[in-house]
Structure 1
């Protein structure tokens, strides 16, 4: 009994449907977490710079 080979990626028809889909547009919202993290990093650098300046 011979078996048909199984395509682990799906059928050609499924792939064609996937390729034909339009990619979802990314929202242009600002990532709040990224902004908060950047502000914290800048504040930390300023605090360290002031500490180093006071030691001299």
Structure 2
């Protein structure tokens, strides 16, 4: 017969490894993401500036 004893420490260690891996993946994505919004804001400000210059000319 097989042993029906389930080791709760094994499950806890697996969950902690999973949670730690998920946090690292999420934090690495967060570090890269601010670049795109910053570029978008700069482009929008440039377009507004050019439009204002052309309208006031």
| RMSD, matched Cα | 1.2
- Report deviation, 1:39: 0.2
Could you tell me which residue of structure 2 aligns to residue 44 of structure 1? 20
Structure with greater helix share of residues? 2
User: With structure 1 as the length reference, what TM-score do the two structures score?
Assistant: 0.52
User: With structure 2 as the length reference, what TM-score do the two structures score?
Assistant: 0.51
Tell me, which stretches of 5 or more residues in structure 2 are unaligned?
A: 33-57
Tell me, which stretches of 5 or more residues in structure 1 are unaligned?
A: 1-24
Deviations 1:12-52 (CA, angstroms, capped at 9, x unpaired):
xxxxxxxxxxxxx5521111000000000000000000100
Tell me how many residue pairs correspond in the alignment.
32
Could you tell me which residue of structure 1 aligns to residue 41 of structure 2? none
* Runs of 4+ more than 3 Å apart: none
